[in-house]
Structure 1
Protein backbone atom coordinates (compact mmCIF):
# COMPACT_ATOMS: atom_id res chain seq x y z
CA UNK A 1 0.00 0.00 0.00
CA UNK A 2 1.26 3.39 -0.97
CA UNK A 3 0.65 6.38 1.26
CA UNK A 4 0.47 9.93 0.06
CA UNK A 5 -0.22 13.17 1.86
CA UNK A 6 -3.29 15.27 1.16
CA UNK A 7 -4.46 18.55 2.62
CA UNK A 8 -8.04 18.93 3.77
CA UNK A 9 -9.03 22.60 3.80
CA UNK A 10 -12.38 23.20 5.50
CA UNK A 11 -14.62 26.17 4.70
CA UNK A 12 -17.89 27.28 6.30
CA UNK A 13 -19.33 29.32 3.41
CA UNK A 14 -19.96 28.30 -0.18
CA UNK A 15 -19.08 31.74 -1.58
CA UNK A 16 -15.71 31.64 0.19
CA UNK A 17 -15.21 28.11 -1.18
CA UNK A 18 -15.92 29.28 -4.74
CA UNK A 19 -13.40 32.10 -4.54
CA UNK A 20 -10.88 29.73 -2.91
CA UNK A 21 -11.27 27.24 -5.75
CA UNK A 22 -10.62 29.99 -8.28
CA UNK A 23 -7.51 31.19 -6.40
CA UNK A 24 -6.12 27.67 -5.93
CA UNK A 25 -6.66 26.86 -9.61
CA UNK A 26 -5.07 30.17 -10.63
CA UNK A 27 -1.94 29.09 -8.70
CA UNK A 28 -1.94 25.84 -10.75
CA UNK A 29 -2.68 23.42 -7.91
CA UNK A 30 -4.74 20.32 -8.65
CA UNK A 31 -7.89 19.91 -6.54
CA UNK A 32 -8.51 16.22 -5.97
CA UNK A 33 -12.08 16.49 -4.68
CA UNK A 34 -14.52 18.84 -2.99
CA UNK A 35 -17.12 17.61 -0.50
CA UNK A 36 -20.18 19.80 0.06
CA UNK A 37 -23.42 19.37 2.04
CA UNK A 38 -25.46 20.59 -0.94
CA UNK A 39 -24.85 21.25 -4.65
CA UNK A 40 -22.92 24.48 -5.24
CA UNK A 41 -23.87 26.11 -8.52
CA UNK A 42 -20.87 26.68 -10.79
CA UNK A 43 -18.44 24.62 -8.72
CA UNK A 44 -17.85 22.11 -11.51
CA UNK A 45 -16.96 24.90 -13.93
CA UNK A 46 -14.69 26.58 -11.36
CA UNK A 47 -12.89 23.26 -10.81
CA UNK A 48 -12.40 22.84 -14.55
CA UNK A 49 -14.37 19.61 -14.79
CA UNK A 50 -15.52 18.44 -18.21
CA UNK A 51 -19.25 18.73 -18.94
CA UNK A 52 -21.29 15.67 -18.14
CA UNK A 53 -22.62 13.36 -20.84
CA UNK A 54 -25.53 12.12 -18.73
CA UNK A 55 -28.04 14.12 -20.81
CA UNK A 56 -26.98 12.18 -23.90
CA UNK A 57 -27.54 8.89 -22.11
CA UNK A 58 -30.95 10.12 -20.91
CA UNK A 59 -31.93 10.79 -24.54
CA UNK A 60 -30.71 7.35 -25.61
CA UNK A 61 -32.60 5.71 -22.75
CA UNK A 62 -35.74 7.61 -23.80
CA UNK A 63 -35.36 6.36 -27.37
CA UNK A 64 -34.94 2.82 -26.03
CA UNK A 65 -38.18 3.21 -24.03
CA UNK A 66 -39.98 4.53 -27.10
CA UNK A 67 -38.75 1.58 -29.18
CA UNK A 68 -39.83 -0.91 -26.51
CA UNK A 69 -43.28 0.75 -26.38
CA UNK A 70 -43.74 0.60 -30.17
CA UNK A 71 -42.60 -3.02 -30.46
CA UNK A 72 -44.63 -4.09 -27.41
CA UNK A 73 -47.86 -2.41 -28.55
CA UNK A 74 -47.49 -3.66 -32.12
CA UNK A 75 -47.01 -7.21 -30.91
CA UNK A 76 -49.72 -7.18 -28.23
CA UNK A 77 -52.44 -5.10 -29.90
CA UNK A 78 -51.89 -5.92 -33.61
CA UNK A 79 -50.12 -9.27 -34.03
CA UNK A 80 -50.86 -11.39 -30.96
CA UNK A 81 -54.32 -10.41 -29.73
CA UNK A 82 -56.09 -7.90 -32.00
CA UNK A 83 -59.26 -6.54 -30.45
CA UNK A 84 -62.02 -4.28 -31.68
CA UNK A 85 -61.99 -1.55 -29.03
CA UNK A 86 -64.57 1.19 -29.51
CA UNK A 87 -65.06 0.24 -33.16
CA UNK A 88 -61.46 1.05 -34.06
CA UNK A 89 -59.84 -1.34 -36.53
CA UNK A 90 -56.74 -3.22 -35.46
CA UNK A 91 -55.36 -4.05 -38.90
CA UNK A 92 -52.21 -1.95 -38.60
CA UNK A 93 -50.16 -0.09 -36.03
CA UNK A 94 -50.37 3.22 -37.93
CA UNK A 95 -54.18 3.28 -37.78
CA UNK A 96 -54.09 2.88 -34.01
CA UNK A 97 -51.05 5.03 -33.22
CA UNK A 98 -52.97 8.04 -31.83
CA UNK A 99 -54.40 5.78 -29.12
CA UNK A 100 -50.90 4.51 -28.32
CA UNK A 101 -49.28 7.95 -27.83
CA UNK A 102 -49.83 8.05 -24.02
CA UNK A 103 -48.22 4.62 -23.64
CA UNK A 104 -45.29 5.65 -25.82
CA UNK A 105 -44.80 8.79 -23.72
CA UNK A 106 -45.02 6.95 -20.41
CA UNK A 107 -42.52 4.25 -21.38
CA UNK A 108 -40.13 6.89 -22.76
CA UNK A 109 -40.18 8.69 -19.41
CA UNK A 110 -40.09 5.43 -17.42
CA UNK A 111 -37.02 4.06 -19.19
CA UNK A 112 -35.20 7.38 -19.16
CA UNK A 113 -35.81 8.04 -15.46
CA UNK A 114 -35.07 4.56 -14.14
CA UNK A 115 -32.03 3.88 -16.29
CA UNK A 116 -30.63 7.35 -15.48
CA UNK A 117 -30.85 6.62 -11.75
CA UNK A 118 -29.06 3.31 -12.26
CA UNK A 119 -26.43 4.99 -14.49
CA UNK A 120 -25.88 7.77 -11.96
CA UNK A 121 -25.35 5.34 -9.09
CA UNK A 122 -23.00 3.12 -11.11
CA UNK A 123 -21.04 6.10 -12.47
CA UNK A 124 -20.75 7.57 -8.98
CA UNK A 125 -19.79 4.15 -7.60
CA UNK A 126 -22.61 4.31 -5.06
CA UNK A 127 -23.96 0.79 -4.85
CA UNK A 128 -25.80 -0.83 -1.95
CA UNK A 129 -23.79 -1.61 1.20
CA UNK A 130 -20.83 0.51 0.09
CA UNK A 131 -18.94 2.26 2.84
CA UNK A 132 -19.02 6.05 2.72
CA UNK A 133 -15.92 7.78 1.36
CA UNK A 134 -16.63 11.09 3.06
CA UNK A 135 -13.44 12.14 4.90
CA UNK A 136 -15.19 14.46 7.38
CA UNK A 137 -18.77 13.98 8.61
CA UNK A 138 -19.22 17.74 9.00
CA UNK A 139 -19.47 18.03 5.21
CA UNK A 140 -22.89 16.39 5.38
CA UNK A 141 -24.11 19.19 7.65
CA UNK A 142 -22.63 22.66 7.15
CA UNK A 143 -18.93 22.51 6.17
CA UNK A 144 -17.15 22.34 2.82
CA UNK A 145 -13.93 20.36 2.33
CA UNK A 146 -11.35 20.85 -0.41
CA UNK A 147 -8.88 17.99 -0.85
CA UNK A 148 -5.52 18.71 -2.49
CA UNK A 149 -2.51 16.44 -3.04
CA UNK A 150 0.74 17.46 -1.34
CA UNK A 151 3.79 17.06 -3.56
CA UNK A 152 6.61 18.74 -1.65
CA UNK A 153 4.74 22.04 -1.56
CA UNK A 154 2.95 21.64 1.78
CA UNK A 155 3.91 24.90 3.51
CA UNK A 156 3.21 27.24 0.62
CA UNK A 157 -0.04 25.39 -0.12
CA UNK A 158 -1.14 25.71 3.51
CA UNK A 159 -0.36 29.46 3.43
CA UNK A 160 -2.37 29.86 0.22
CA UNK A 161 -5.33 28.01 1.74
CA UNK A 162 -5.21 30.17 4.88
CA UNK A 163 -5.26 33.26 2.67
CA UNK A 164 -8.34 31.95 0.84
CA UNK A 165 -10.35 31.77 4.06
CA UNK A 166 -10.03 28.15 5.19
CA UNK A 167 -11.12 27.81 8.82
CA UNK A 168 -9.24 24.56 9.32
CA UNK A 169 -6.36 22.90 7.46
CA UNK A 170 -5.35 19.29 8.10
CA UNK A 171 -2.53 17.28 6.50
CA UNK A 172 -3.65 13.65 6.19
CA UNK A 173 -1.78 10.50 5.21
CA UNK A 174 -4.01 8.91 2.60
CA UNK A 175 -3.61 5.20 1.86
CA UNK A 176 -4.27 4.19 -1.75
Structure 2
Protein backbone atom coordinates (compact mmCIF):
# COMPACT_ATOMS: atom_id res chain seq x y z
CA UNK A 1 0.00 0.00 0.00
CA UNK A 2 1.56 3.29 -1.05
CA UNK A 3 1.23 6.25 1.22
CA UNK A 4 0.60 9.74 -0.07
CA UNK A 5 2.93 12.64 0.60
CA UNK A 6 2.15 16.22 1.52
CA UNK A 7 4.25 19.36 1.51
CA UNK A 8 4.35 21.49 4.62
CA UNK A 9 5.29 25.06 3.75
CA UNK A 10 5.99 27.30 6.74
CA UNK A 11 5.51 31.08 6.75
CA UNK A 12 6.17 33.60 9.51
CA UNK A 13 3.80 36.42 8.49
CA UNK A 14 0.04 36.43 7.97
CA UNK A 15 0.11 38.71 4.91
CA UNK A 16 2.76 36.51 3.26
CA UNK A 17 0.73 33.34 3.83
CA UNK A 18 -2.41 35.05 2.50
CA UNK A 19 -0.57 36.07 -0.69
CA UNK A 20 0.96 32.58 -0.94
CA UNK A 21 -2.46 30.94 -0.74
CA UNK A 22 -3.69 33.18 -3.55
CA UNK A 23 -0.66 32.30 -5.72
CA UNK A 24 -0.95 28.54 -5.06
CA UNK A 25 -4.68 28.58 -5.84
CA UNK A 26 -4.01 30.65 -9.00
CA UNK A 27 -1.59 27.90 -10.09
CA UNK A 28 -4.49 25.41 -9.69
CA UNK A 29 -3.06 23.41 -6.78
CA UNK A 30 -5.25 22.01 -4.03
CA UNK A 31 -4.51 23.28 -0.51
CA UNK A 32 -5.54 20.69 2.04
CA UNK A 33 -5.33 22.96 5.09
CA UNK A 34 -3.70 26.10 6.46
CA UNK A 35 -2.78 26.05 10.15
CA UNK A 36 -2.54 29.48 11.80
CA UNK A 37 -1.80 30.71 15.33
CA UNK A 38 -4.62 33.28 14.98
CA UNK A 39 -7.45 33.98 12.49
CA UNK A 40 -6.29 35.57 9.22
CA UNK A 41 -8.87 37.88 7.68
CA UNK A 42 -9.65 36.88 4.10
CA UNK A 43 -7.98 33.46 4.25
CA UNK A 44 -11.29 31.62 3.88
CA UNK A 45 -12.11 33.52 0.67
CA UNK A 46 -8.57 33.06 -0.67
CA UNK A 47 -8.87 29.29 -0.12
CA UNK A 48 -12.27 29.23 -1.81
CA UNK A 49 -14.15 27.90 1.21
CA UNK A 50 -17.93 28.09 1.20
CA UNK A 51 -19.53 30.69 3.48
CA UNK A 52 -20.61 29.42 6.87
CA UNK A 53 -24.24 28.96 7.86
CA UNK A 54 -23.52 29.33 11.56
CA UNK A 55 -25.27 32.73 11.74
CA UNK A 56 -28.51 31.10 10.56
CA UNK A 57 -28.14 28.47 13.29
CA UNK A 58 -27.57 31.20 15.88
CA UNK A 59 -30.72 33.02 14.78
CA UNK A 60 -32.75 29.81 15.01
CA UNK A 61 -31.38 29.07 18.48
CA UNK A 62 -32.32 32.60 19.56
CA UNK A 63 -35.85 32.20 18.20
CA UNK A 64 -36.11 28.90 20.10
CA UNK A 65 -35.03 30.67 23.29
CA UNK A 66 -37.58 33.43 22.73
CA UNK A 67 -40.34 30.85 22.19
CA UNK A 68 -39.36 29.00 25.37
CA UNK A 69 -39.36 32.30 27.31
CA UNK A 70 -42.84 33.21 26.04
CA UNK A 71 -44.16 29.77 26.88
CA UNK A 72 -42.44 29.79 30.29
CA UNK A 73 -43.70 33.23 31.37
CA UNK A 74 -47.23 32.47 30.15
CA UNK A 75 -47.32 29.12 31.95
CA UNK A 76 -45.70 30.27 35.20
CA UNK A 77 -47.20 33.73 35.63
CA UNK A 78 -50.59 33.48 33.87
CA UNK A 79 -51.81 29.87 33.84
CA UNK A 80 -50.17 28.02 36.74
CA UNK A 81 -49.98 30.60 39.52
CA UNK A 82 -51.51 33.97 38.58
CA UNK A 83 -50.73 36.69 41.13
CA UNK A 84 -51.67 40.33 41.42
CA UNK A 85 -48.26 41.99 41.69
CA UNK A 86 -48.28 45.79 41.93
CA UNK A 87 -51.82 46.03 40.61
CA UNK A 88 -50.97 44.37 37.29
CA UNK A 89 -53.75 42.14 36.01
CA UNK A 90 -52.71 38.52 35.63
CA UNK A 91 -55.45 37.48 33.24
CA UNK A 92 -53.56 38.05 29.98
CA UNK A 93 -49.99 37.49 28.87
CA UNK A 94 -50.20 40.45 26.45
CA UNK A 95 -51.14 42.88 29.24
CA UNK A 96 -48.13 41.71 31.28
CA UNK A 97 -45.69 41.36 28.35
CA UNK A 98 -43.66 44.52 29.16
CA UNK A 99 -42.72 42.97 32.51
CA UNK A 100 -41.54 39.82 30.71
CA UNK A 101 -39.23 41.57 28.19
CA UNK A 102 -36.06 41.10 30.32
CA UNK A 103 -36.84 37.39 30.70
CA UNK A 104 -37.44 37.01 26.96
CA UNK A 105 -34.20 38.83 26.15
CA UNK A 106 -32.10 36.80 28.57
CA UNK A 107 -33.53 33.46 27.43
CA UNK A 108 -32.92 34.39 23.78
CA UNK A 109 -29.27 35.18 24.53
CA UNK A 110 -28.89 32.12 26.80
CA UNK A 111 -30.17 29.67 24.17
CA UNK A 112 -28.25 31.25 21.30
CA UNK A 113 -24.95 31.36 23.21
CA UNK A 114 -25.03 27.89 24.73
CA UNK A 115 -26.36 26.09 21.69
CA UNK A 116 -23.85 27.91 19.46
CA UNK A 117 -20.96 26.62 21.58
CA UNK A 118 -22.30 23.07 21.32
CA UNK A 119 -22.87 23.47 17.56
CA UNK A 120 -19.38 24.87 17.02
CA UNK A 121 -17.75 21.97 18.85
CA UNK A 122 -19.83 19.38 16.99
CA UNK A 123 -19.23 21.05 13.59
CA UNK A 124 -15.49 21.34 14.27
CA UNK A 125 -15.37 17.78 15.59
CA UNK A 126 -13.76 18.91 18.82
CA UNK A 127 -14.58 16.35 21.47
CA UNK A 128 -13.36 16.14 25.05
CA UNK A 129 -9.98 14.38 25.25
CA UNK A 130 -9.54 14.45 21.46
CA UNK A 131 -5.95 14.27 20.26
CA UNK A 132 -4.80 17.44 18.50
CA UNK A 133 -4.57 17.27 14.70
CA UNK A 134 -1.94 19.97 14.45
CA UNK A 135 1.03 18.71 12.39
CA UNK A 136 3.57 21.10 13.95
CA UNK A 137 3.45 22.82 17.37
CA UNK A 138 4.99 26.01 15.95
CA UNK A 139 1.64 26.82 14.31
CA UNK A 140 0.19 27.53 17.75
CA UNK A 141 2.91 30.09 18.45
CA UNK A 142 4.33 32.10 15.55
CA UNK A 143 4.31 30.13 12.28
CA UNK A 144 1.74 29.47 9.56
CA UNK A 145 1.67 26.11 7.80
CA UNK A 146 0.20 25.40 4.38
CA UNK A 147 -0.42 21.70 3.69
CA UNK A 148 -0.53 20.69 0.02
CA UNK A 149 -0.87 17.11 -1.29
CA UNK A 150 1.82 15.93 -3.71
CA UNK A 151 0.67 14.29 -6.96
CA UNK A 152 3.89 13.71 -8.94
CA UNK A 153 4.50 17.47 -8.91
CA UNK A 154 6.90 17.80 -6.00
CA UNK A 155 9.55 19.88 -7.78
CA UNK A 156 6.99 22.26 -9.28
CA UNK A 157 5.38 22.80 -5.88
CA UNK A 158 8.73 23.32 -4.14
CA UNK A 159 9.70 25.99 -6.68
CA UNK A 160 6.34 27.74 -6.40
CA UNK A 161 6.40 27.70 -2.60
CA UNK A 162 9.94 29.13 -2.48
CA UNK A 163 8.74 31.97 -4.72
CA UNK A 164 5.85 32.71 -2.34
CA UNK A 165 8.17 33.36 0.60
CA UNK A 166 8.09 30.08 2.52
CA UNK A 167 10.73 30.03 5.25
CA UNK A 168 10.77 26.22 5.45
CA UNK A 169 9.44 23.49 3.15
CA UNK A 170 9.19 19.84 4.19
CA UNK A 171 7.85 16.80 2.34
CA UNK A 172 6.25 14.42 4.81
CA UNK A 173 4.22 11.25 4.68
CA UNK A 174 0.54 12.16 5.20
CA UNK A 175 0.01 9.02 7.30
CA UNK A 176 2.70 10.07 9.80
CA UNK A 177 0.82 13.07 11.20
- TM-score of the pair, normalised by structure 2: 0.97
Deviation at 1:3, TM superposition (A): 2.5
Aligned to 1:109: 109
SS in 2 for 1:6: strand
> What is the aligned partner in structure 2 of residue 31 from structure 1?
31
Question: Could you report, residue by residue, the CA deviation over 1:3-50 in whole angstroms, capped at 9, with x for unpaired residues?
Answer: 311110000011110110010000000110000000001110111111
Give 1:127 deviation, angstroms: 1.2
Contact 1:2 1:175 in 2 (8 A): no
1:61 maps onto 2:61 in alignment: yes
Distance apart, 1:152 and its partner CA: 0.9
Q: Which residue of 2 aligns with 1:129?
A: 129
3-state DSSP class of the match of 1:73? helix
Q: Distance in 1 between matches of 2:34 and 2:2?
A: 22
**What SS is found at the alignment partner of 2:4?**
strand
Q: Which runs of 5+ in 2 are unaligned?
A: none
Structure 1's unaligned 5+ residue stretches are: none
Aligned pair count? Answer: 176
Aligned positions of 1:8-47 closer than 5 A: 8-47=8-47
For the residues of structure 2 that align with 1:65 and 1:31, how far apart are their CA atoms? 39
Q: Distance in 2 between matches of 1:85 and 1:43?
A: 56
Q: Give the distance between the partners of 1:85 and 1:35, measured in 2 at CA.
A: 58
Aligned position for 1:74:
74
Runs of 4+ aligned residues of structure 1 deviating over 4 Å after TM superposition are: none
Matched with 1:170 is 170
Q: TM-score, normalised by structure 1?
A: 0.97
- Deviation for aligned residue 1:56: 0.3
Q: How far, CA to CA, are the matches of 1:107 and 1:4 in structure 2? A: 50
- Per-residue deviation, residues 66-114 of structure 1 (Å, max 9, x unmatched): 0000011111111111111111010011111010011000100110011
